[in-house]
């Protein structure tokens, strides 16, 4: 169940998942055996939160009837298996390629991604580049910050590993982060602390 959604609202989402063309208030009320007013209140909340929206009007013998359908956010509120699927792909790649080639592949993948991000750092120097990298990482969900520990040498600390489950089984995934940061900054990076190895954060020290 998505955060902030009551059990009754989840029942409404379940119904709309099964009726892709949408349901009107009266249809939802009939299927859940609750009052029309109660359904309206739940729909208002789900619509405000972005889980449902008004769909095409159903034309009946009388006046047109409004129906409601799931939004993308509503569809995405249901369980997904992205980590499982990614793990399946990575396991197959590593088996087919071998460990060394697999790590090189992740390095090249990060370098390719970095090429598309480099314009965001154009014209920036040193501290500005570091700050922009932190901003990019936070957009990706890392919850990162720039520190000046280790004798004044800047480091980036990430408090959230966005693929924590994968790094438990594939240490090579950490190479993706290091290669991405190295390419964007055009500076070598030392991965000095890793949450996958028991660290409190993932810490990347920027070499002079």
Q: For 82-206, give the CATH class.
A: alpha beta
pLDDT at 28: 96
Report the distance separating Cα 60 and Cα 62, nearest Å: 5
pLDDT at 1: 57
Q: Buried (b) or exposed (e) across 113-126, using 16+ Cβ within 10 A?
A: ebeeeeeebeeeee
Contact 174, 149 (CB under 8 A): no
CB atoms under 10 Å from CB of 76, counted, come to 12
Q: Please report, in tens digits, the pLDDT of each residue of the chain (208 residues total).
A: 566 789 999 999 999 999 988 999 999 999 999 999 999 999 999 999 999 999 877 666 667 788 999 999 999 888 888 888 999 999 999 999 999 999 999 999 999 999 999 999 999 988 899 999 999 999 999 999 998 766 678 899 999 988 888 888 898 899 899 999 999 999 999 999 999 888 889 999 998 8
Give me the torsion for CA of 143, 5, 18, 53, rounded to 10°: -80
CATH topology assigned to domain 7-76: Arc Repressor Mutant, subunit A (1.10.10)
Domain residue ranges of the chain, discontinuous segments joined by +: 7-76, 82-206
Report the distance separating Cα 197 and Cα 204, nearest Å: 14
């Amino acid at each position: 169940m998505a955060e902030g959604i009551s059990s009754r609202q989840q029942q409404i989402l379940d119904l709309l998942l099964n009726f892709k063309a949408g349901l009107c208030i009266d249809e939802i009320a009939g299927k859940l055996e609750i009052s029309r007013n109660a359904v309206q209140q739940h729909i208002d909340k789900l619509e405000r939160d972005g889980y449902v929206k008004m769909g095409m009007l159903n034309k009946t013998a009388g006046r047109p009837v409004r129906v409601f359908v799931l939004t993308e956010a509503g569809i995405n509120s249901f369980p997904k298996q992205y980590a499982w699927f990614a793990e399946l792909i990575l396991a197959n790649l590593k088996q087919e390629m071998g460990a060394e080639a697999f790590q090189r592949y992740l390095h090249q993948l990060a370098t390719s991604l970095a090429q598309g991000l480099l314009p965001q750092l154009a014209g920036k120097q040193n501290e500005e580049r570091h700050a922009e990298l932190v901003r990019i990482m936070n957009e990706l969900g890392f919850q990162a910050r720039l520190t000046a520990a280790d004798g004044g040498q800047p480091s980036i600390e990430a408090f959230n590993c966005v693929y924590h489950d994968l790094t438990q089984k594939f240490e090579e995934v950490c190479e993706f982060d290091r290669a991405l940061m190295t390419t964007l900054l055009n500076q070598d990076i030392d991965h000095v602390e890793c949450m996958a190895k028991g660290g409190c954060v993932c810490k990347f020290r920027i070499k002079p």
